[in-house]
């Protein structure tokens, strides 16, 4: 897997991702402590509102940002977003009102909603070979999981010798380091895109996404992953503290089990995807994750909790299946758009997948608090069933890459027909939604 790091440009981008993730992890810890300083016992409500603002920004701003920066150099977009994020982190230690937290979090997430899809869309052009790109996706998954383990430990060590305000400086250093690494490399140029009206640029990613069967299936599988993942991220602390009567170390152990399962899957996926189709791997993981979620909900509803080791095993399995759904998603996005449209499609995935989390987080949190953990996980399990059924229907097994189709609206000498000759104007090639292919053939 590490062979892919021999590519100098990718090595710099991956290093930028890792440094920025560590900075973001320090920010998460520091933000919680800042919220407690500002609001005391209401800190939970402040953080809940801040994370809701974060999700709304992710859903609403990613397509807007992609439409605004489509003609700008990739490197400039990434560096500019990092500098904005560093500026926000630099301001956070000096605020003294809750509303200022909300404003700065919105600005920070607006920059992240610009950075993340642009970064993800650049990697397929840096690594055009699909096997290399798959390794990069697994490395990215590993980086996210390691960040969840390393950043809290690093923050804890730093807090023994300094005030939490200094953690924000670590975040600033992380974002500035990311910008410096991007500055050191030359990113591949995006193919010249046709000049389009802003509204068309704004909606183009979603139009391509929602007209591509495999991506509609991916959106449904995002719902499955979000249903299981939201319960883990929101309710693990409640299960461990209230259900098992254990302390903070046990909470960290449970979350580490989830992360370890995800990391194990990320290590195995390149080998697995070299032998099996994405659809089989992702749907298989979706089925298994839904069954695990419903099965654990049954134990909670019966008020018969698993043994502690069994619970950790379930969390590790949940993490592995969660990663098996999400890690290959970049492969589907890569093959579903031309280079000039890839940024818009990755932005659509960023926004639509976060919309799934915007639905599942409140169910895990509010319903869990109001009705109990069993009913909350049962509802999330049923939501996963819905996502799974939709995925099977929306991503049929017959949705191959090369699709026979006709172009009755194109003249015989059109460049597209000359590039892909066939019988009359009927031919087959790797099909993506674009200006010549506005509807997937299986839709009529």
Q: Reduce the DSSP state of residue 402 to 3 states and report it.
A: strand
Q: Is residue 152 part of a domain?
A: yes
Do 349 and 441 belong together in one domain? Answer: yes
Instruction: Assign 397 to helix, strand or coil.
Output: coil
* Higher-scoring residue by pLDDT: 191, 21: 21
54 and 108 in one domain? yes
> What local confidence, expressed as pLDDT, does residue 443 receive?
46
Answer yes or no: do 209 and 178 share one domain: no
Q: What is the pLDDT of residues 67-124, one digit of tens each?
A: 888 778 889 999 999 999 999 999 988 988 888 888 998 999 899 888 988 888 888 8
Within-domain flag for 412: no
Look at residue 145 in the predicted model and tell me its pLDDT.
79
Domain that holds residue 294: 202-397+430-444
Give the model's pLDDT for residue 439.
80
In sequence order, which residues have a C-beta less than 8 Å from that of residue 16 and are 6 or more positions away?
78, 177, 178, 179, 181, 182
- At 442, the pLDDT band (50, 70, 90 cuts) reads low
Instruction: Examine the domain organization and report whether 163 and 291 are in the same domain.
Output: no
Tell me how far apart the alpha carbons of residues 138 and 270 are, in angstroms, rounded to a whole number.
7
218 and 185 in a single domain? The answer is: no
Most confident of 28-32, 291-295, 428-432: 291-295
End of a domain among 163, 189, 215?
Answer: 189
Which of 189, 219, 241 is the C-terminal boundary of a domain? 189
Number of H helices, E strands in the chain: 16, 2
SS3 content of the chain, % helix, strand, coil (to 5): 80, 0, 20
Tell me what pLDDT residue 308 has: 94
Same domain, 163 and 224: no
Pair 94, 27 in one domain: yes
| 375 assigned to some structural domain | yes
Question: Is the confidence at residue 6, as pLDDT, over 50?
Answer: yes
Q: How far is CA 283 from CA 222, 276, 328, 391, in A?
A: 11, 12, 11, 8
What share of the chain in percent tops pLDDT 90?
A: 36
pLDDT at position 246: 85
Predicted pLDDT of residue 43 = 62
Instruction: Specify the higher pLDDT residue, 378 or 364.
Output: 378
> What pLDDT is attached to residue 144?
81
Q: What is the mean pLDDT of the chain?
A: 85
Examine the domain organization and report whether 177 and 287 are in the same domain. Answer: no
How sure is the predictor about 444, in pLDDT bands with cuts at 50, 70 and 90? very low
CA distance 181 to 19: 10
pLDDT of residue 409: 73
Question: The domain that contains 33 carries what CATH number?
Answer: 1.20.1250.20
416: in domain:
no
Same domain, 251 and 366: yes
Rounded to two decimals, the pTM is: 0.85
221 and 368 both lie in a single domain:
yes
Query: Using one digit for the tens of pLDDT, what is the confidence trace for 123-141?
Result: 888 988 888 888 898 888 8
pLDDT, position 74: 86
- pLDDT at residue number 192: 56
pLDDT tens, residue by residue, 293-325: 999 999 999 988 899 999 999 999 999 999 999
Same domain as 165, residue 236? no
Q: Which of 159, 189, 219 is the last residue of a domain?
A: 189
pLDDT at 24: 85
Lowest mean pLDDT among 30-34, 172-176, 275-279: 30-34
82-103 in b/e form (b: 16+ CB < 10 A) is: bebbbebbebbbeeeebeebbe
Model confidence pLDDT, tens digit, residues 200-248 = 888 888 999 999 999 999 999 999 999 999 999 888 888 888 888 888 7
Is 111 among the domain residues? yes
8 Å CB contact between 251 and 243: no
Residue 418 pLDDT > 70, yes or no? no
Residues 182 and 218 in one domain: no
Tell me how many domains the chain contains: 2
DSSP state of 305: P
Q: Which of the pair, 84 or 259, is modelled with greater confidence?
A: 84
pLDDT tens, position by position, 260-287? 899 899 999 999 999 999 999 999 999 9
């Amino acid at each position: 897997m590490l062979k892919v790091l021999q590519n100098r440009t990718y090595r710099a981008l991956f290093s930028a991702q890792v440094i920025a993730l560590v900075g973001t992890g320090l920010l998460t810890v520091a933000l919680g402590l800042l919220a407690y300083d500002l609001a005391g016992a209401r800190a939970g409500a402040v953080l809940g509102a801040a994370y809701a603002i974060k999700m709304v920004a992710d859903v609403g701003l990613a397509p807007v940002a992609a439409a605004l920066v489509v003609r700008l150099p990739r490197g400039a977009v990434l560096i500019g977003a990092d500098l904005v994020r560093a500026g926000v982190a630099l301001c956070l230690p000096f605020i003294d009102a809750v509303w200022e937290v909300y404003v700065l979090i919105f600005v920070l997430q607006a920059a992240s909603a610009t950075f993340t899809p642009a970064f993800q869309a650049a990697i397929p052009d840096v690594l055009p070979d699909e096997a290399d790109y798959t390794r990069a996706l697994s490395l990215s998954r590993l980086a996210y999981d390691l960040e969840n383990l390393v950043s809290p430990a690093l923050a804890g060590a730093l807090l023994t010798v300094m005030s939490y305000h200094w953690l924000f400086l670590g975040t600033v250093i992380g974002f500035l380091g990311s910008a410096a690494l991007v500055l050191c490399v030359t990113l591949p140029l995006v193919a010249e895109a046709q000049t389009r009206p802003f509204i068309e640029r704004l909606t183009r990613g979603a139009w391509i996404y929602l007209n591509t069967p495999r991506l509609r299936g991916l959106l449904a599988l995002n719902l499955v992953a979000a249903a299981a993942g939201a319960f883990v991220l929101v309710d693990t602390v409640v299960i461990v503290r209230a259900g098992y009567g254990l302390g903070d170390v046990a909470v960290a152990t449970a979350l580490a089990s989830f992360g370890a399962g995800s990391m194990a899957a990320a290590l195995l996926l390149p080998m697995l995807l070299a032998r099996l189709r994405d659809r089989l791997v992702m749907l298989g993981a979706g089925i298994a994750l839904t069954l695990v979620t419903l099965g654990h909900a049954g134990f909670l509803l019966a008020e018969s909790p698993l043994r502690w080791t069994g619970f950790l095993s379930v969390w590790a399995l949940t993490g592995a299946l969660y990663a098996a759904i999400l890690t290959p998603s970049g492969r589907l996005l890569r093959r579903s758009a031309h280079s000039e449209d890839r940024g818009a499609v990755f932005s659509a995935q960023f926004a639509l997948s976060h919309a799934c989390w915007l639905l599942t987080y409140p169910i895990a949190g509010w319903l869990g608090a109001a009705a109990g953990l069993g009913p909350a996980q049962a509802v999330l399990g049923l939501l996963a069933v819905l996502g799974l059924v939709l995925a099977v229907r929306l991503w049929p097994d017959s949705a191959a890459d090369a699709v026979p189709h006709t172009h009755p609206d194109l003249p015989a000498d059109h460049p597209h027909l000359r590039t892909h000759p066939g019988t009359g104007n009927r031919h087959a090639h790797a099909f993506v939604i674009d200006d010549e292919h506005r509807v997937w053939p299986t839709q009529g």
